[in-house]
Amino acid sequence: MTTQTRPAPPWQVDRWFNTSDAITLESLRGKVVVLEAFQMLCPGCVSHGLPQAARVHATFPDDQVAVIGLHTVFEHHDAMTPVSLQAFLREYRIGFPVGVDRPGTHGPIPQTMQAYAMRGTPTLTLIDAQGRIRHQHFGQVSDLVLGAQIAALVHEAQAGPRADGEQSRTVAGESCGPEGCALPA
Amino acid sequence: MTTQTRPAPPWQVDRWFNTSDAITLESLRGKVVVLEAFQMLCPGCVSHGLPQAARVHATFPDDQVAVIGLHTVFEHHDAMTPVSLQAFLREYRIGFPVGVDRPGTHGPIPQTMQAYAMRGTPTLTLIDAQGRIRHQHFGQVSDLVLGAQIAALVHEAQAGPRADGEQSRTVAGESCGPEGCALPA
Amino acid sequence: MTTQTRPAPPWQVDRWFNTSDAITLESLRGKVVVLEAFQMLCPGCVSHGLPQAARVHATFPDDQVAVIGLHTVFEHHDAMTPVSLQAFLREYRIGFPVGVDRPGTHGPIPQTMQAYAMRGTPTLTLIDAQGRIRHQHFGQVSDLVLGAQIAALVHEAQAGPRADGEQSRTVAGESCGPEGCALPA
Amino acid sequence: MTTQTRPAPPWQVDRWFNTSDAITLESLRGKVVVLEAFQMLCPGCVSHGLPQAARVHATFPDDQVAVIGLHTVFEHHDAMTPVSLQAFLREYRIGFPVGVDRPGTHGPIPQTMQAYAMRGTPTLTLIDAQGRIRHQHFGQVSDLVLGAQIAALVHEAQAGPRADGEQSRTVAGESCGPEGCALPA
């Protein structure tokens, strides 16, 4: 956990699913944003991260909370192409918008994932209504904690601006485990 | 769900467990109170209600949120005596304070349960820092929703008073089912 | 695990539930018997042992496999009386016959539990069609293993007698934990 | 469920994973064979079918029971190529041999899937030690039932040959649901 609050970097996305238009962070200003970074072949993403994002999507009003998926492939790139992702989203009935993170130019880690300093998948990033990163969870976070963090940001958005924040990080696993897939150290 | 907000009635408790002193609502003023009404032989209380209350107790700081159990026996009174309850609390490792609701004078429903107009067990009642009932869930409520409701009341308590509220009710089951035990209609 | 096979001791039961007549091991000769020893306030019995016994009861034909519960109270005797047990069986919808193990004369451990050398609850004992103890599991045993053991005994009963057996024991927990409640060492 | 017993058709497999040599049914004669047909993007296969096959693999001795996966892609063929399957098997830590069913010549259904008259994925087929289909489960089958069926076939293999069998079928779902993916009717 760090106490730093910083502007959320823009999303480098080449292709979107489940939306007719590209989505920018700016277009979501005024809403709390739940950004779920995942890989379709990451077991922890399939069993925990994505179902949780879907629950958030079903629980909170669309005009207050936006749930956005980000496909951040950092391994097995040939196995997780947009064609495979499209079938995956359909079979798993993922209904919220999902962007494909742009491949990195100097290594396996895609650009948005790197800009957000994510450590693996799944990573859930909470962005406030002013576009600032407020919480970041790698691995699992409980629904109680997540519900409370979202509500606090929604409440804050309705009450007015805030000066500083805090950034939490869940302890990382190692490589791909039941919790998720970690970037190489 | 109703939009009514009303003062939480006082607790009619003859005996307390897991606390050296009797607890009153007044003594908790300034904190958000999670009141978990249960019966020790109610399957839905054992599988869902009490574990959720324990998660709330473990997640939120004690100086902001108080978790209180209330043993509201409305059936099988001979089977759920304080002696049995004490063993139950020990075996299930319930660590938060639990009060025994005072038996009703005109029927099987105990007094606090009746004053709160509960419809069965488990019932989770959220009381704000000013001692008003704000939400009431009979049966199951998701951790996401509960976390958000608690956080909103905590935020409100820190920001100052509020004029009105809303009261929600989860749809009732019938008799004792996996969800919980309903009062006779 | 031991390789010993021995005659299953008779059941010392004062009171039966879910059956109009007392049940003896002799009356079940020819059937495989699944004896589920439990305490109503043992968390591992409620979450694992009894639901598994109910699944066995629902899965195998009554004329091949008999499922019998045995309430073996070795702690909190005042909290788990027959009156409480009766309400418990009703609320948890336990449909198979359940006997109350006769209290011990020299200590807290009831007589049948002692005769079977059980180490705590839940303990599942598999008795073959000839009335011999063949497997004994303290704590959890997987449905795959249990299904296979039952089927092997059923098959054997249909094929004819067998000379010797094996007795397995699941590793014990300590005191009451999520797995079950162990007898004092 | 049907009472028919028939020889299990040979496997039409172009490529194997988790084994250095191709595997034929003949080479497994004398063992009970658990054939788990799945698609890597079938949610019911990932959540239920494959974990169950892994439990069988971990529970029964290799010299008595062989667990074999079969990747039977009948939809989204471009999304579930061998390259994707290889990454999937690695990330999900599937340790038993998996063959890729040969594409059909007259439609989307691969050849082995068609020869076995499977109705969708996951389908678990139990083949006895003499190479005959004895049970076939589409969708979910409980561990208790599966454990019993495997044990009965193992017992039979050790006791000697048998004349006829039975074939059961679990009721089908429709399209891809939490249970599995059904073939078009």
pLDDT tens sequence across C84-114: 999 999 999 999 999 999 999 989 999 999 9
Q: Does the CB of B144 have a partner CB in chain A at under 8 Å?
A: yes
Element (H, E) at B113: helix B111-115
Q: Is the pLDDT of residue C20 over 60?
A: yes
Question: Domain of A28: which CATH number?
Answer: 3.40.30.10
Q: Is residue C151 part of a domain?
A: no
A85 and A40 Cβ atoms separated by less than 8 Å:
yes
CA–CA distances in Å: residue D118 to residues D48, D49, D113, D143, D170: 17, 15, 6, 20, 11
Q: Chain B: give the shortest CA distance to residue C41, in Å.
A: 6
Cis link prior to A43 (omega < 30° from 0)? no
Q: Is residue C64 part of a domain?
A: yes
Task: Output the pTM of the full model.
Answer: 0.89
Element (H, E) at D145: helix D143-159
CA-atom Rg of chain B in angstroms: 15
Is the predicted ipTM greater than 0.85, yes or no? yes
Sign of CA dihedral B96, B99, B100, B103: negative
User: What pLDDT score was predicted for residue D169?
Assistant: 39
Q: Is residue B72 part of a domain?
A: yes
User: What pLDDT score was predicted for residue B164?
Assistant: 46
pLDDT tens sequence across A88-138: 999 999 999 999 999 999 899 999 999 999 999 999 999 999 999 999 999
What is the number of residues in chain B?
Answer: 185
Q: Is the pLDDT of residue D1 over 50?
A: no
Question: Based on the structure, what is the number of domains in chain D?
Answer: 1
Q: Is residue D158 part of a domain?
A: no
User: What pLDDT score was predicted for residue D167?
Assistant: 39
Q: Chain C: give the shortest CA distance to residue B77, in Å.
A: 9
Q: Is residue A157 part of a domain?
A: no
Mean pLDDT, chain B, whole residue set = 90
Tokens found for residue C33: 């018997």
Q: Please state the separation of Cα B51 from the chain's center in Å.
A: 13
Q: Please state the separation of Cα D145 from the chain's center in Å.
A: 16
Return all residues near B30 (Cβ < 8 A) that are at least 6 apart: B129, B157
CB contact under 8 Å between B84 and C79, yes or no, is yes
User: What pLDDT score was predicted for residue B172?
Assistant: 37
Segments in chain B below pLDDT 70: 1-4, 160-175, 178, 185
Using 50, 70 and 90 to split pLDDT, how confident is the model at D3? very low
Q: Is residue A87 part of a domain?
A: yes
CA–CA distances in Å: residue B171 to residues B8, B137, B175, C163: 21, 8, 13, 58
Q: Is residue B162 part of a domain?
A: no
Residues of chain A with Cβ-Cβ distance to B159 below 8 Å are 159
Segments in chain A below pLDDT 50: 1-3, 162-174
Q: Is D50 helix (H, G, I), strand (E, B) or coil?
A: helix
Q: Name chain C's partners: 3 or more CB pairs within 8 A.
A: B, D
User: For residues D3 and D176, which has the higher predicted lDDT (pLDDT)?
Assistant: D176
Q: Does the CB of B80 have a partner CB in chain C at under 8 Å?
A: yes
Q: Is the pLDDT of residue D185 over 70?
A: no
Q: Which amino acid is present at C26?
A: E
pLDDT tens sequence across D116-138: 999 999 999 999 999 999 999 99
Sign of CA dihedral A162, A129, B132, B48: negative
Q: Does the CB of B51 have a partner CB in chain A at under 8 Å?
A: no
Q: Is A74 helix (H, G, I), strand (E, B) or coil?
A: coil
Q: Is D137 exposed, middle or buried (0-12, 13-18, 19+ CB in 10 A)?
A: buried
What φ, ψ does residue C152 adopt, rounded to 5°? -65, -40
User: What pLDDT score was predicted for residue D33?
Assistant: 98
CA separation for the pair B145, D27 (Å, rounded): 56
CA separation for the pair C83, D33 (Å, rounded): 50
In degrees, rounded to 5, the angle at the alpha carbon of residue B120 between the alpha carbons of residues B117 and B123 is 80
CB contact under 8 Å between B150 and A148, yes or no, is yes
CA separation for the pair D33, D136 (Å, rounded): 12
Tokens found for residue D11: 């496997």
pLDDT tens sequence across C56-79: 999 999 999 999 999 999 999 999
Which domain range does residue B124 map to? 2-144
Q: Which residue of D has its CA nearest to C144?
A: D147
Q: Is the pLDDT of residue D177 over 80?
A: no
Q: Is residue D23 part of a domain?
A: yes
Of all residues in chain C, the percent with pLDDT exceeding 70 is 88
pLDDT tens sequence across C127-171: 999 999 999 999 999 999 999 999 999 999 988 654 444 434 333
